[in-house]
Amino acid sequence: ELIKYQQAFIASAKVLTTVEDMLQALLEIKE
């Protein structure tokens, strides 16, 4: 069970990082 939770946590963390990178790229384009 712990491994499943860890994998889900890592996956969501990767998604959050990707989203943050995209947002930063958009902000840089606007400036």
Task: Please tell me whether the overall predicted TM-score, pTM, comes out greater than 0.75 for this model.
Answer: no
What pLDDT was estimated at residue 12? 98
What pLDDT was estimated at residue 30? 87
CA 20, distance to chain mean position in Å, is 6
Q: What is the dihedral of CA 23, 12, 14, 30, to 10 degrees?
A: 0
What pLDDT was estimated at residue 31? 80
What are the Cα distances from residue 5, in Å, to 1, 10, 13, 19? 7, 9, 12, 21
Rounded to whole angstroms, how far apart are CA atoms 27 and 14? 20
In tens, the pLDDT along 1-31 reads 899 999 999 999 999 999 999 999 999 998 8
What pLDDT was estimated at residue 11? 98
What pLDDT was estimated at residue 20? 98
